[in-house]
Structures are given as structure tokens and as C-alpha cells.
């Protein structure tokens, strides 16, 4: 029995943490955040060199052949650094093709995704605010090998070479960048580290994944676990950031961290988030090894952790005082990261309703 | 990550289950008084190697090699059938580990075997009316007269004081020494003149703890654990064990399951409450906290098994604060489900009998407010998490 990370996973986290600290320190993060160009070629090249782009792609297609838990522990670091860029969505697109693609589909796309030569993303949002898989979601139907409709909040779709689109009956289909009738419009999004776009499909050729309907649940659950991990990382980063600020900020002639009101608020922040680490581990592990539990546990983890992360970000803003409310203060970057993780692919209430039904309540 | 226990442990679980078919007792044994039945089955558990595993055989334990996973399996299986295993009473739960760590050979031989047999019952004498969270300010004096300690003063919040044969307690033996250095850890017979035990009624209406007054109470000079003035350090070991007893996240899943049952059984506007959207949402939100407790517990168990406790030091520090909060959340939700029935008086002793169901829930709700105070109040936990966990500056030094 081992409910913890392996040496390899810890090393992966450490390496990624080092990469984020070196290549995207707060000064660089701020530049990217203010520029609005979140897909940074240098960062993408670095992630590709580290093998992150092919993390979940089997070795036979040039990837590392790892699992959803490995992806999630990476997402913790990515969220911790508020790392701008599409890596999470790219890996989810790859995961969909790994799981649901035919042999020829895998051969066509996976090597390019694994190397990072192609960028992949997912488009699971619909124009009426629903997400694919929700009852009544107006997901587009595949007709004669083509899709028509509008998908929203598709992260980095403008830069993507390939989009995994949610279709009717919880199917998945791949649309390539140069497909006819594909128009991508930017949406001014809340999280400038991960802008999401509107994808307009007009009789756009799409290649359905061979086992799209079977794959959909797996991709959704993995996405929820990964978002929970990202929010967990962001929440811990906010806690550390606020602890450091409270140790240095002086009022009444001493660091505010000496005031018990502040100390207790910081302790509560940490206590909100630290005990949830196992929640995202368990959900991610379940995706590959406890498949019956995955839908429910990933829903619980996503709802709980993203809710706590947003609560905690609110505390972080408050403890930074007036500064915390400014554009200059980095707290807003992680606050918005947490807000994205919370709303993307369904709010906590949405997933709590799902977990209640899945639990047979 | 690997959540399988492996064949060796699966086999062990099967052995424990087979053993537990012996509970409840049958035949003539089933007619014994309840306490006798528990004592009998606990003794069988010791012989089988399932109860008091880490306590040496020579003192009445079962002397098994330390194995957190086996311990966990035993606790899960015992809890499943409600069989009497490790007693969580103050004696076996707190005093015995302390004596094993710090007691003399004579003390171990004299006190541990009868305590584990259930023949010697204990209470804890730490808090005083003026010394709660600031425990080291305690005043009850003990002075050495010849070969006896003579004790005066008062203790409070003393559970089981009425039935206890002995108290392990902290007393001020070195009045000239500084606050922490003037305390000794003494073992005091409770059945003697000069001890006055007075009940304290809780807000639940039940009486579970007492005030204990000392008027020239005596205990032998050798009934001190550790040296004179070392009582504070000795007590830290005991308090550590007490925290382990209170923050047991395994209980929380059961509490939540009972809450779900209640929501299924309670009718709201002509249908089961659990079908109400608002209630479902609230229960699902609470379940997030419950699952966090469970997975956090799994992390701590796993780290303990692998000798990597330091990797789980933060969740360990947070367990008490977190789990008492979550228990309150569960009990509050259960109370709210009662609606108007929440107006009834609490049942004594958490009576879950069907005809008294609401009163039992009311009792549980009121009772859930207590653990956040006992064994290190929540604000003290926040100080510990802040200072030791997050490296925040210590509070200004208290005057000593």
C-alpha cells in the first residue's frame, strides 16, 4: 500500500518547479500576463525538451507513456507557478487520442503532439454555457464527416494545430487547423495565463475518434482531476506568497505575521488546502486504476479544491491589504487562475449535483 | 501509488475477520454483564495479537512488531463489527504509552498489567480552573513530606473521575522554579480521604466530567514519572496520544454515512430530504471535506508505514483542527434536517433508539461542539500550524 508519490513523480515535480522558477519567474510571468500572449514559444520549447508535451503519449509514439496521476502532479506545479500556456489542454487532447483514437489516428497525430511540433487543445464548451456531457447540451452532430456549431472557451484554440471537439452523444472528433469553415475568435478571458477562444464550425471536416463515446468520460474525469491539481498548486502558491508578505509587511512597528488574527487567518488558509492534496491524487489515480470510482471522485475533487482555492485567494487579497486589490500585485494572477479552474468544465455546484447522482442519492 | 494491500495483508485481514466471528459472544458468555463480555473478548484479542499490539507481552500487551498497516486493518475490522479492541480510555490510551516511554521498570510492572486488564481505571488531571490553554500556569501544589507527596488544589474537566482508581496528573512541586520547570507528573490514588469529586453537567445534560478537589491527598514518593520538574515534558508525550485519540478521521466517514441515511429517511415537503436540491448540494459539499479527511488519513498512514512521517507532517498537524470542524459540519447538517424536531431536549448519552431519534441527533450536535476545545483548543492548533507548520513568528513570549 502506497498512497503517495514515487521517486520519479517527486523528481518530475522538482524538475518542473525548477523550470518554472528559472524560465517563468514573477517578472517574466508579469510580462506575459500583461502582453496577453500566453502561448510563449520559449516556454513551450522548454516544456517540449523536458518531455512534458508527450507526457501521456505512449513511448511507441514518442511520448513518456505516463498516466493521469503523473499529469496531475505536473499540473500542481504548473498551477503553482501560474505558468502561462496550453500544456494542460494539450495533454488532455493527446489523452483523448491515446485512449480513443484508431491506430491510424494515433499514428497521424500522436508523434507530432508528443514532440510539441503540433499544439493540441480541447473544445468542450457550448454556446449556451453548458459543457459536453451535460443533459441537453447542444453539442454539434457529426454529419457526413463535418461539424457545424459553436464551441466556447476552447483554450488556445487560435494557436492550436488540432482541436478535440465534443460532439453529440458525448462523442469526440478531431478538427485540424486548416479545416475548411473553421473560424476561431478570441474571447477576452479572465485568466490571462490561459486565454480561451470561441470556435465556429461551418460544415467543418472532422475526424471522429474511433472510440469517442467511450473516451469522453475518461477525458472529462482526467480534465477534472488535472484542474483540481492546478487549483491546488495555485492555492498553495497563494498561501506561501501571503505568508512571505505577512512576514515582511510591517505595521504598528512589527511584521503583521506576529498578530494572531493574521497568523490564524494564514493557518486557516493552509488548513483549507493542504488536506485536499490526497483528493486530487486519488481522483487522478482513479482515472487509470479505479475506473468505477473515477467519475464521482474527480467530480468531488474538482468541486471541492477549486472552491477552496477561490476562497483562499480571497483571503490572500485581503491579507495583502490595499496592495492586494491592485493590478500590480501578483495575487490577482493566481486568483484568476483559481477562478478559471473553478468555472472551466463546470462549477462546483454542477459537479456536486453530478456526484450526488453518481452516488445514488 | 498502489492502493492494494498485497496478498500477505489480505490474508491477515481474512484472519482478523475469522477471529471476529467470535463477537458478539454466544451461549452462556452472552449472559455475562456487558463489561465482562468486553473484558473477555479484549483478552482474546490480546492473545490473538490484535489488541494492544505494540505493548510488550510482559506487561499484558500482545508484543507484536510495529506494523501500521496491520494495525489499520485491525481497527477497520473491529470497527466494522463494533467489537471491543484497543480501549481508548485514559489508562490504556494515554498513561500506558507514557509509562512505556518514561516510566521506571517498577512502575511499568505495577501499573500497566492491571490497566490493560481493565482492573485499574485512570483519569487525567491536567486542567485547572485558571489553567486551560495556558496549562503550564497550573497551581495545584504537591510537596514531599517524608516518603509521600501531599497534594492540594483543584483539577477540572476530569473525565471518568468517579470510577477512576488512579489519576495521572500535573502538580506544582517546585514553586521556586520557572513556570514549565516547576511541574511534576504524579500518579495519585483516587479512592482516599481528601479527594472530593464533584460532577460537572455538560450543555447536553449529561455528566461526563468532574471537578476534583484535593485536601492533603497523599501518594507515595515513588509515584512520580520522570524527575521532579520534568512533568511538563512527560505530559507532552501523553497529550500527543490524546490528540491521536480525538482526531480519528476513520470515524468521519461513518458519521457522514449516517447523515446520508438521515437525509434519506427524513421527509421534506412530502419527499425524502435527500431529493431536495439544496440539501443534496450541501451534503455533496460536506462530502468534499469528508473525502479530504479520508485521503489525508490515507496519506498519513502510508507515510507512517514507509517511515516517511516527515512528508506528512503538515496534515498531521492539521488533523485535529480539520476533523473537529468537519464533524461539526456533519452534526450541524443532521441537526438542521430535524427541522421542528430540533426543538426537543437532547437525549442523555446520545440515545439513537428509534422513538428517541431526534433527541439523539440533538445530543450529537451539542456534543460535537466539545472536541474543538478538548485536547488543545482550535485556536491553539492554529498557533501550532502557523508557527511550526508555516514558520510564522512566535507569539510574544508569555510572562512566566
Region B309-337 average pLDDT: 93
Q: For the segment B222-238, what is each residue's pLDDT rounded down to a tens digit?
A: 999 999 999 999 998 76
A271 contact residues in B (CB cutoff 8 A): 318, 321-322, 382, 385
Of A1, A275, A282, the CB nearest to B315: A275
Q: Do A275 and B281 touch (CB under 8 A)?
A: no
Q: Do A279 and B283 touch (CB under 8 A)?
A: no
Residue B238's pLDDT is what? 64
Indicate the helix (H) or strand (E) that contains A196.
Answer: strand A196-205
Indicate the helix (H) or strand (E) that contains A201.
Answer: strand A196-205
Residue B374: which pLDDT band, with cuts at 50, 70 and 90? confident
Residue A352's pLDDT is what? 98
Residue B79's pLDDT is what? 87
Q: Which residue of B has its CA nearest to A361?
A: B274
**For cell 466556447, what's the residue?**
A152
Give whole-number Cα distances, B229 to B99, B145, B178, B179, in Å.
17, 17, 10, 10
Q: Do A263 and B389 touch (CB under 8 A)?
A: no
Which segments of chain A have a pLDDT < 50?
A: none
Three-state secondary structure string covering chain B? CECCCCHHHHHHHHHHHHHHCCCCCCHHHHHCCHHHHHHHHHHHHHHHCCCCCCCCHHHCCCCCCCCHHHHHHHHHHHHHHCCCCCCCCHHHHHHHHHHHHHCCHHHHHHHHHHHHHCCCCEEEECCECCECCCHHHCCCEEEEECCEEEEEEEEEEEECCCCCCEEEEEEECCCCCCCHHHEEEEEEECCCCCEEEEEEECCCCCEEEEEEEEEEEEEECCCEECCCCCHHHHHHHHHHHHHHHHCCCHHHHHHHHHHHHHHHHCEECCEEHHHCHHHHHHHHHHHHHHHHHHHHHHHHHHHHHCCCHHHHHHHHHHHHHHHHHHHHHHHHHHHHHCHHHHHCCCCCCCCCCHHHHHHHHHHHHHHCCCCCCCCCCHHHHHHHHHHHHCCCCCCCCCCC
- Tell whether A326 lies on the interface with B, counting CB pairs under 8 A: no
Shortest Cα distance, chain A CAs vs residue B180, angstroms:
23
| Residue among B64, B70, B39, B41 nearest B52 (CA) | B64
ipTM of the modeled complex:
0.97
A5 contact residues in B (CB cutoff 8 A): 1
The single residue of B242, B261, B287, B345 carrying the catalytic annotation is B242
Give chain B's largest Cα–Cα span: 75
Q: For the segment B178-216, what is each residue's pLDDT rounded down to a tens digit?
A: 999 999 999 999 999 999 999 999 999 999 899 999 999
pLDDT of B349 higher than 70: no
A246 contact residues in B (CB cutoff 8 A): 392
The residues facing B106 across adjacent strands are none
**B145 is annotated as an active-site residue:** no
> Regarding predicted confidence, which is higher, A89 or B400?
A89
B285 contact residues in A (CB cutoff 8 A): 303-304, 307, 348, 352
| Residue among A133, A181, A124, A185 nearest A151 (CA) | A124
At residue A188, φ and ψ (nearest 5 deg) are -70, 105
Of A4, A263, A300, the CB nearest to B291: A300
**CA A81 to CA A15: how far, in whole Å?**
13
A356 contact residues in B (CB cutoff 8 A): 280-281, 283-284
Q: For the segment B21-75, what is each residue's pLDDT rounded down to a tens digit?
A: 999 999 999 999 999 999 999 999 999 999 999 899 999 999 999 888 898 899 8
Q: For the segment B271-312, what is each residue's pLDDT rounded down to a tens digit?
A: 999 999 999 999 999 999 999 999 999 999 899 888 888 888
Shortest Cα distance, chain A CAs vs residue B358, angstroms:
22
> Regarding predicted confidence, which is higher, A246 or B348?
A246
Region B348-372 average pLDDT: 81
Tally of CA atoms within 13 A in the half-sphere of A318 that contains its CB: 11
- Tell whether A190 lies on the interface with B, counting CB pairs under 8 A: no
Q: For the segment B101-159, what is each residue's pLDDT rounded down to a tens digit?
A: 999 999 999 999 999 999 999 999 999 999 999 999 999 999 999 999 999 999 999 99
Q: Do B389 and A270 touch (CB under 8 A)?
A: yes
Q: Do B295 and A264 touch (CB under 8 A)?
A: no
Of all residues in chain B, what percent carry a pLDDT higher than 70?
94
Q: Do A289 and B292 touch (CB under 8 A)?
A: no
Residue B66's pLDDT is what? 84
Shortest Cα distance, chain B CAs vs residue A13, angstroms:
15
Ramachandran area for residue A291 (φ above 0: left; ψ -120 to 50: alpha; else beta): alpha
Residue B239's pLDDT is what? 62
Residue B88's pLDDT is what? 81
Amino acid at each position: 500500500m502506497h498512497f503517495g508519490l514515487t521517486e520519479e513523480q517527486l523528481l518530475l515535480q522538482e524538475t518542473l518547479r525548477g523550470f518554472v522558477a528559472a524560465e517563468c519567474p514573477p517578472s517574466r510571468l508579469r510580462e506575459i500576463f500583461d502582453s496577453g500572449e500566453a502561448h510563449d514559444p520559449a516556454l513551450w520549447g522548454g516544456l517540449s525538451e523536458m518531455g512534458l508535451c508527450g507526457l501521456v503519449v505512449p513511448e511507441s509514439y514518442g511520448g513518456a507513456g505516463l498516466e493521469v496521476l503523473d499529469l496531475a502532479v505536473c499540473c500542481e506545479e504548473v498551477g503553482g507557478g501560474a505558468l502561462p500556456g496550453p500544456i494542460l489542454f494539450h495533454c488532455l487532447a493527446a489523452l483523448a487520442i491515446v485512449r480513443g483514437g484508431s491506430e491510424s489516428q494515433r499514428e497521424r497525430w500522436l508523434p507530432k503532439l508528443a514532440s510539441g511540433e503540433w499544439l493540441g487543445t480541447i473544445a468542450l464548451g457550448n454556446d449556451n454555457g453548458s459543457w459536453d456531457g451535460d443533459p441537453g447540451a447542444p453539442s454539434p452532430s457529426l454529419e457526413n464527416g463535418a461539424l457545424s456549431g459553436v464551441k466556447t472557451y476552447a483554450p488556445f484554440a487560435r494557436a492550436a494545430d488540432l482541436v478535440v471537439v465534443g460532439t453529440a452523444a458525448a462523442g469526440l472528433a478531431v478538427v485540424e487547423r486548416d479545416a475548411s469553415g473553421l473560424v476561431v475568435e478570441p474571447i477576452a478571458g479572465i485568466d490571462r495565463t490561459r486565454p480561451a477562444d470561441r470556435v465556429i464550425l461551418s460544415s467543418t471536416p472532422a475526424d471522429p475518434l474511433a472510440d469517442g463515446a467511450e473516451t469522453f468520460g475518461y477525458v472529462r474525469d482526467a480534465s477534472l482531476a488535472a484542474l483540481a491539481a492546478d487549483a491546488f498548486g495555485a492555492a498553495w502558491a497563494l498561501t506561501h506568497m501571503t505568508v512571505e508578505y505577512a512576514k515582511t509587511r510591517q505595521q504598528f512597528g512589527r511584521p503583521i505575521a506576529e498578530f494572531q488574527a493574521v497568523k490564524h487567518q494564514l493557518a486557516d488558509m493552509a488548513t483549507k488546502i493542504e488536506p485536499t492534496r490526497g483528493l486530487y491524487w486519488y481522483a487522478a489515480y482513479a482515472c487509470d486504476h479505479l475506473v468505477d470510482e473515477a467519475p464521482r471522485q474527480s467530480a468531488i475533487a474538482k468541486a471541492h479544491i477549486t472552491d477552496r482555492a477561490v476562497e483562499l485567494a480571497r483571503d490572500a487579497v485581503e491579507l495583502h491589504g490595499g496592495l492586494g486589490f491592485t493590478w500590480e500585485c501578483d495575487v490577482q494572477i493566481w486568483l484568476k487562475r483559481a477562478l478559471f479552474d473553478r468555472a472551466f468544465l463546470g462549477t462546483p455546484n454542477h459537479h456536486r449535483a453530478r456526484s450526488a447522482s453518481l452516488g445514488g442519492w | 501509488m498502489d492502493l492494494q494491500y498485497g496478498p500477505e495483508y489480505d490474508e491477515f485481514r481474512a484472519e482478523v475477520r475469522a477471529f471476529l466471528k467470535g463477537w458478539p459472544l454466544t451461549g452462556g458468555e452472552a449472559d455475562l454483564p456487558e463489561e465482562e463480555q468486553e473484558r473477555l473478548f479484549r483478552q482474546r484479542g490480546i492473545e490473538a495479537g490484535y489488541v494492544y499490539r505494540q505493548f510488550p507481552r510482559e506487561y499484558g500487551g500482545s508484543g507484536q512488531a510495529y506494523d501500521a498497516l496491520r494495525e489499520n486493518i485491525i481497527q477497520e475490522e473491529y470497527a466494522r463489527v463494533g467489537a471491543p479492541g484497543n480501549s481508548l480510555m485514559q489508562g490504556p490510551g494515554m498513561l500506558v504509552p507514557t509509562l512505556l516511554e518514561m516510566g521506571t521498570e517498577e512502575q511499568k510492572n505495577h501499573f500497566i498489567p492491571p490497566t490493560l486488564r481493565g482492573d485499574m481505571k485512570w483519569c487525567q488531571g491536567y486542567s485547572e480552573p485558571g489553567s486551560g490553554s495556558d496549562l503550564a500556569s497550573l497551581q495545584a501544589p504537591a510537596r514531599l513530606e517524608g516518603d509521600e507527596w501531599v497534594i492540594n488544589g483543584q483539577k477540572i474537566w476530569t473525565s471518568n473521575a468517579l470510577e477512576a482508581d488512579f489519576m495521572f496528573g500535573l502538580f506544582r512541586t517546585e514553586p521556586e522554579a520557572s513556570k514549565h520547570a516547576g511541574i511534576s507528573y504524579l500518579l495519585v490514588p483516587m479512592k482516599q480521604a481528601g479527594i472530593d469529586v464533584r460532577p460537572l453537567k455538560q450543555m447536553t445534560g449529561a455528566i461526563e466530567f468532574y471537578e476534583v478537589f484535593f485536601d492533603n491527598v497523599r501518594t507515595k514518593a515513588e509515584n512520580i514519572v520522570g524527575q521532579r520538574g520534568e512533568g511538563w515534558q512527560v505530559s507532552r508525550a501523553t497529550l500527543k496520544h490524546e490528540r491521536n485519540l480525538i482526531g480519528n478521521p476513520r470515524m468521519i466517514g461513518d458519521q457522514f454515512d449516517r447523515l446520508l441515511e438521515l437525509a434519506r429517511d427524513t421527509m421534506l415537503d412530502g419527499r425524502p430530504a435527500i431529493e431536495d436540491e439544496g440539501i443534496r448540494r450541501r451534503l455533496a459539499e460536506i462530502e468534499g471535506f469528508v473525502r479530504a479527511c479520508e485521503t489525508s488519513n490515507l496519506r498519513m498512514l502510508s507515510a507512517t508505514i514507509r517511515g516517511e512521517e516527515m512528508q506528512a507532517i503538515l496534515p498531521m498537524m492539521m488533523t485535529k483542527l480539520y476533523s473537529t470542524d468537519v464533524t461539526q459540519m456533519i452534526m450541524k447538517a443532521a441537526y438542521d434536517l430535524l427541522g421542528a424536531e430540533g426543538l426537543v431536549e437532547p437525549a442523555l448519552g446520545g440515545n439513537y433508539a428509534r422513538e428517541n431519534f431526534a433527541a439523539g441527533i440533538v445530543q450529537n450536535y451539542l456534543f460535537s461542539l466539545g472536541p474543538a476545545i478538548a485536547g488543545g483548543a482550535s485556536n491553539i492548533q492554529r498557533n501550532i500550524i502557523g508557527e511550526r507548520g508555516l514558520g510564522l513568528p512566535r507569539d510574544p513570549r508569555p510572562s512566566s
